[in-house]
Structures are given as structure tokens and as C-alpha cells.
Amino acid sequence: MKNNKLVLYRRKREGRTNYKKRLTLLKGRKPRLVIRKTNNQVIAQIVDYSPEGDKILVATASSALKKLGWNYSCKNMPACYLAGFLLGKKAKDKKVNEAIVDFGLQSNIAGSKLYAVVQGAKDAGLEIPVGEGVLPTKERIIGAHISSYYSKGAGDAQFSKYRKENVDPAKLAQDIENLKKKMVGK
């Protein structure tokens, strides 16, 4: 007697794709803002569906901020916001005006770094349907929590790289605004 077990898709077996969630996103017929978080950076892409395979329209990573003069960590909340802002500017240049968010299998916690990317893309002019209650506060986006923690003298080991490079987290908000102006001028 034959064994008629259903063999699942490879990516589903590996726990890398939730096809039910993917189908729901694809039914929207809009480009997807795909956000993936690694240990060192955040990667953001605008992806459009094609039967031959998804097409990446625009992509950036928070590590790309280093080329623009970013001297801070590429994995903190302000870097995620700026990566989203940079992606939004690139998308507007390519005539992409709207997208829906695709976090994949990552937990989408309100006010997290993932939503900081979304806020950056929205501030750059992309139309993204998302509730305002899940976006991080302005204070977190400009790194007020980092500056206050640094000014208390806490976490000397955490800020040793900043001290070695003579970077002052107290000027973080000012540096964010300067980098945004540089991106708008591009």
C-alpha cells in the first residue's frame, strides 16, 4: 500500500515561510515592505510579486548609513528609523508610492525597531497602512533613551566603541536630523 502523505514545501518544512500569511499579503496586490532584522543591522526591501519570482524594486540596509556619515550602531532604534527613511526616499525616486508591511516570521512588537523602519518609510512619503499606536514614540526614534543612558555614565562597556571613536551620543538627535537633510538632498 502506498504512503500518501502530503510533502510540505521545503521552506515551510524549514520554518522559513508562512505561506498562509504570504498569500494574504499578496492578495493586497501592493508592493511589500519586507523588513528583516539580523544581529548587526536591519535590512529593508520593497518587493513586488511576479509569477517567475519576487522582484526587489528597492533595497537598503542600516549598514549603508555608514557611507553617509553615520558613526553610531547600525542596530539601534535611530539607525532602523534612518534605514526606513532612506528606503522610502529611494522608493519615491523609483515611483513606488505605497506598500504593505511584511515582517515574515518575526514577532511584531509595538514600538519595536521593525516599526521604526516603517515610521521612517512613512516619513519619507510612502503610504503604508499601519496603526499609529504601534509606531515608536518620537523620543525613541531620536535616541533620547540612548542619550540619557549614556549621560548617566551607565553601561561603560556598551559605549566603549563610541568613546574610542570620540562619538557623543548626547548629540544623537542632532546627527539624525543632519543625516536626514543629507538624504533629502540626494
Is-contact 87 99, C-beta < 8 A?
Answer: no
In a domain, 149, yes or no: no
In a domain, 157, yes or no: no
Amino acid 155: pLDDT: 58
In a domain, 150, yes or no: no
Amino acid 139: pLDDT: 92
Give the distance, in angstroms, between the CA of residue 169 and the centroid of all CA atoms in the same chain: 21
In a domain, 162, yes or no: no
Average pLDDT along the chain: 85
Amino acid 150: pLDDT: 77
pLDDT in tens, 58-113: 999 999 999 998 888 899 999 999 999 999 999 999 999 999 888 877 788 988 99
How crowded is the C-beta side of 79, counted as CA atoms within 13 Å? Answer: 24
Domain with 103, as residue range(s), is: 18-136
In a domain, 81, yes or no: yes
Amino acid 134: pLDDT: 93
In a domain, 9, yes or no: no
Question: What are the CA-CA distances from residue 25 to residues 89, 108, 113, 175, 185 (Å)?
Answer: 23, 15, 21, 36, 33
**What CATH number corresponds to the domain at position 42?**
3.30.420.100
Amino acid 4: pLDDT: 67
pLDDT in tens, 43-54: 999 999 888 878
In a domain, 171, yes or no: no
Amino acid 51: pLDDT: 80
pLDDT in tens, 127-146: 999 999 999 999 999 988 88
Share of the chain above pLDDT 90, in %: 42
pLDDT over 70 at 186, yes or no: no
Is residue 77 classed exposed, middle or buried when 0-12, 13-18 and 19+ CB atoms within 10 A define those classes?
buried
Q: Kindly give, in sequence order, each residue whose CB lies less than 8 Å from that of residue 123, ignoring residues fewer than 6 positions away.
A: 84, 85, 88
Amino acid 95: pLDDT: 94
Number of domain units in the chain:
1
In a domain, 39, yes or no: yes
